Structure 1
Amino acid sequence: MKGKSASTRDDYLFSDQIGHLLRRVYQRHTALFQQFIPDSQLTAAQFVVLCSVRDNGASSLVDLVKSTVIDQATVRGVVDRLKQRELVQVDHDQQDRRKVVINLTPAGHELVRQMEPFAKQITEGTFGKLNPAERLALVFLLKKMLENDTGPADAGQGVARAP
C-alpha cells in the first residue's frame, strides 16, 4: 500500500528477508539446471537422487529421504521414473522384504558422469559474481544454518514466538 509510512515499510521489507532471497537464488539455480542439462527428461530431483545413490551406494527410500531432504512420496515417484529409464535397479532387501534397495545401473552411473560438467556450470552460474572467498563464506554460513537440522519440524527452533 502506498499509504504506509516509511517507518512501517523499513521495519519489514520482504525483499530483504532470507526466505525471499533464498527462493530467488533457488529459482535462478533451477532455471540454470533446465538451461544447461542436455537431458530434457532429467529433473533436478532425479539428478540429486542419482548422485546420492552414487555417493552412498545401495540406498533405501528412507536413506534417500534423509540424504536428499526430499519427501518420501516425491522420492518414491523419482525412483519409479528413474527405474523406468533403467537408470536405477530396485530390489527387495534380503532381510526385510518390505524394504526396497536402490542401486545405480551402469546407465545411471554413466548419466551422472556425463552430467557432472554441466552440474559444475550450474553451480558456477548460481554463485554468480561471488569471488572465491565469498563463495566459501556462503557455503560455510548455509551449512552452519543447517547444523543440527533434522527437517521441517526443526524450522521454528530458536525463533521467538509472539505470546
Structure 2
Amino acid sequence: MSAAAETSNESFLPVVRELATAYQALAAYSEAHVRQFDLTPAQFDVIATLGNTNGLCMGELGEKTLITKGTLTGVIDRLIQKQLVCRETPAENRRNVLVQLTPAGQAVFDRVFPLHLAHLKERFDKIDPVELELLKVLLGRLRQAF
C-alpha cells in the first residue's frame, strides 16, 4: 500500500471534513441573514464586537474579531462611509486608534444583533443542550491541540 493510501485512512480525516463542512454551513446560514441588513459578515462582526462597549482600539478589535489587520482597516473604512462607526486617534498616543459605534451604528447593533441571535438560536435549539455542551468541550480540546 502506498504512503498516500495509508495516510488517506487516518481516523481524524472524516472529523476534519465534518468540522469544515459544519463551519461552511454555519457561515453560509449566518451570512445570508446579515446580508439582509446591508452588512457583510465582517461588518456585522465588528458591529457586534463593538456593541455594549465604549469602543476598542484597532488591535483589540482585530483580536476579538479574528479579522486580519489589513482587512480590518478596509472594513472600518466602509463602516465609516456608512456612518456606523467612527475612528479617533488620541493626541497623547497616536498609535492607539479607537473605533466606536456612532449613534446610527448603535441603533443597528440594537436592532440587528438580537435578530441575528434569534436566527442562529432557531438552528442551535434543534440540538440537545447536553450535546451542545459536549460539542463545546470537544471543540475546545481540539483548539488546544493546535
TM-score (norm 1): 0.72
State the alpha-carbon separation in 2 of the partners of residues 97 and 123 from structure 1: 39
Q: What does the per-residue CA deviation read over 1:32-56, in whole Å, with 9 as the maximum and x for residues that have no partner?
A: 12332321x3111111111211244
Partner of 1:12: 10
Shift of 1:122: 4.0
Residues 13-67 of structure 1 show CA distances to partners (whole Å, capped at 9, x for unaligned) of 675133x32221221112212332321x311111111121124432111111111
Answer yes or no: is the 8 Å Cα contact 1:51–1:112 preserved in 2: yes
Residue 144 to residue 10, structure 1, CA distance change in 2 (3 Å): closer
Q: Deviations over 1:80-129 (max 9, x none)?
A: 11111000011112321233110101111111121123322442355374
Separation in 2, partners of 1:137, 1:13 = 20
Higher share of residues assigned helix: 2
CA separation of 1:50 and 1:8: change in aligned 2, threshold 3 A: same
Partner SS for 2:93: coil
Please show how residues 1-163 of structure 1 align to structure 2 within 5 Å: 8=6, 11-12=9-10, 16-18=14-16, 20-37=17-34, 38-39=36-37, 41-124=38-121, 127=124, 129-146=126-143, 155=146
Aligned residues: CA RMSD: 2.9
Cα distance in 2 for partners of 1:146, 1:120 equals 24
What one-letter code is carried by the residue in structure 2 that aligns with 1:100?
Answer: V
Distance in 1, Cα, partners of 2:7 & 2:95: 55
Aligned partners of 1:68 and 1:101: how far apart in 2?
15
| Unaligned segments of structure 2, at least 5 residues | none
Partner amino acid for 2:15? Answer: Q
The count of corresponding residues between Structure 1 and Structure 2 is 143
